[in-house]
Structure 1
Amino acid sequence: MSNLKNMQGKAALVTGAASGLGKATALKLAAAGADLGIVDINAEGLEITAAEARELGVKVFTQVVDMAQREQVVSAVDNTVAAYGRLDALCNVAGIIIMCNAHEMPAEQWTRVIDINLNGPFFAIQAAIPHLLESNGAVVNVTSTAAFVGEAYAGAYCASKAGLLQLTRALAMEYVHKTIRFNAVAPGGMMTNIANNMTMPEGVDYELIKRYSGLRGLVEVEDVAEAVLTLASGAGRGYHGACITIDKGITAG
C-alpha cells in the first residue's frame, strides 16, 4: 500500500456500511489503519462489518441510522468525533434506487430517494465540515453514472445522484481556499444489495435499460472502494471538485 494511503491515527465515517460498497469501503479504510464510525439502517449487517474491521486492528464505532432522518445523521457525525476526538474523512456511500414509471411514482417514494441519496449526505457534510477543516480532511460522495446519463424508470435516482455531484462541485468551490477536499466517485452498475433487491415496474421496456447497461459487465465493488480510499486519504491530495468515473465505458459514448 502506498504510504499516502496510510490512515493510521485518523478517523473516518462511512455511511451504508452494512453491505456492498459501504462495507467494502469501511474495510479498505480499516486496512489502511483508520478508526471507523460506520452507520447503516441494517443493524445486523453493521455489526458484521464492525467485527471484520476490528480484526484488522482498528477501533470501530457503530450507530444505526436512517439517512432520511437529519437528527440521526448529525448524531452519527457528533458521536464519531466524540469517540476519536477527530474526523479525517466522511464517505457518503449509503444509497437507494426505486425503479418506477415516472407518472406512477408515489410522492413518498420520490421523497425517500431524495432524502437518502441527497439530503442525508448534505446533512452529514454540514455537521462534518468544522471537524474536517481542523484535520485537513476529505469528503467523498458516491454518486453514479446516473448523474451523467438519463436512465429510464430511474428519475428520482438520476435526480438525486446528479444533485449529489453538483453539491460536491459547489462545495469544492465554496471551500477552495480552505484545506478540506470535496470529491466524488461515480460507479456503474455493481453487484450489491441495491442491484439484488431492485424490481422493475410493470411493462418495462428492457431495450431502454440496455442503453445504460455496460457492455463489459458489472463494475467490481473492490475497485470502487479503492477509489474512495484514494480520495479519502493523502493519495487524493491533488483531487478537489473531481469525480472519478468507474463504469467500464458506459459514459464514454
Structure 2
Amino acid sequence: MGMPGDMTGKVALVTGAAGGLGRATAIALAEAGAQVCIVDLNADGLAETAATIGDGAFVHVADLSRPETCAPAVAAAVARFGRLDALCNVAGVLKLANAHQMALADWNLVIAVNLTAPFLLCQAAIPHLLKTNGSIVNVSSLAAHIGEAYAAAYCASKGGLSQMTKALAMEYMMQPIRINAISPGGMATPIGASFVPPEGADMALLARFRPMRGLVEVEDMARMIAYLASDAASGFHGADIQMDKGITAG
C-alpha cells in the first residue's frame, strides 16, 4: 500500500499511541506531514513513540477509561498546536471470558475504553474539526460484524463503535467533517498478544475466526487509517472498512 494523503500543516490526535497500531498510526501520520498529539496511559511507551517521530509529536498521558480525561486530551492538543484536523480513536481493550463468569469490572473497562472514550473524544473534537474540515477515524474490529465466542463485551463495544460512527456520519452529513471507521482482523499487536482463551474454552469455536491468509500487517492498517484521516479520502463518510483478509467474507 502506498503512502497516505498529504497531512502537511495538519494536526492529528491519536489514542493508544504507546505501542501497537496506535504507535504505527501516529508514525504514519507524521510521515505524511502531520503534527501529532499522542495519547495513552503508558508514559514510557509514549516517550518511545515520540522519540521515533521527533519534533512533531506532543505527548499527553491519560487514562481513557476515566471519562473525565477525554475532553482534556482534545483541549491539550488544541492548546499545543492551535488546531485539530483529525481524531484517530485507536486505543482498545480486549477481555475474554466465559460470559456467565465475566466480572462486571472487566465488562465496564472494555465498554469504557472501546466505546465511551471514543464518543467523548468525538464530542470534544467535533467543534474543532468543523472549523478545519477535519475527520474522525474510529478503529472498530471484525468483532463488530461477527459474533465471537468468549468476547461478548468486546463485540458489544466494537459493534456499538461501528454504529456510533454511522450515526455521527448521518448527524453531520451536511457539515464539513468526515467520520469513518475501519474494522481490522487479527494483528500482531499487544491486544492480539492478550488473546488468551478463558478456562474451558472450546478451541473449535475459536478456530472459526482464525484467518486463512494470516494476520493483517499493522503498518498496512496504520497507513489506511492515515489515508482516511487525510483529504485524499474525501469520498469516504460513514464508511466502515473491513480490512480482515477475508474473515467476514463468509
Q: What TM-score do you get using the length of structure 2 for normalisation? A: 0.98
Aligned pair 1:170/2:158, yes or no? Answer: no
> Which residue pairs with 2:119 in the alignment?
122
Deviation at 1:3, TM superposition (A): 9.3
Question: Which residue of 235, 239, 242 corresponds with 1:242?
Answer: 239
| In 1: Cα distance, 2:212 partner to 2:125 partner | 38
| In 2: Cα distance, 1:3 partner to 1:102 partner | 41
> Which residue pairs with 2:33 in the alignment?
33
Q: What TM-score do you get using the length of structure 1 for normalisation? A: 0.96
Q: How many corresponding residue pairs? A: 250
1:153/1:2 Cα in 2 relative to 1: closer, same or farther (>3 Å)? closer
Deviation at 1:2, TM superposition (A): 7.8
Q: Kindly report which structure 2 residues correspond to 1:187-226, keeping only aligned pairs within 5 A, or say none.
A: 187-226=184-223
| In 2: Cα distance, 1:89 partner to 1:115 partner | 21
| In 2: Cα distance, 1:93 partner to 1:3 partner | 19
Q: Kindly report which structure 2 residues correspond to 1:175-186, keeping only aligned pairs within 5 A, or say none.
A: 175-186=172-183
Question: Which residue of 145, 155, 158 corresponds with 2:155?
Answer: 158
> Which residue pairs with 2:98 in the alignment?
101
5+ long unaligned stretches in structure 2: none
Between 58-67 and 114-123, the greater mean CA deviation after superposition: 58-67
Deviation at 1:59, TM superposition (A): 2.0
Question: Which residue of 61, 69, 78 corresponds with 2:66?
Answer: 69
4+ runs deviating over 4 angstroms: 1-4
Is contact 1:94-1:117 (8 Å) kept? Answer: yes
Is contact 1:4-1:234 (8 Å) kept? Answer: no
Identical columns (%):
56
- Which secondary structure state, in structure 1, belongs to the residue aligned with residue 157 of structure 2? helix
| In 2: Cα distance, 1:197 partner to 1:149 partner | 20
Deviation at 1:67, TM superposition (A): 1.1
5+ long unaligned stretches in structure 1: none
> Which residue pairs with 1:7 in the alignment?
7
Letter in 2 for 1:47: A
Is contact 2:4-2:224 (8 Å) kept? Answer: no
1:228/1:3 Cα in 2 relative to 1: closer, same or farther (>3 Å)? closer
| In 2: Cα distance, 1:170 partner to 1:9 partner | 29
> Which residue pairs with 2:50 in the alignment?
50
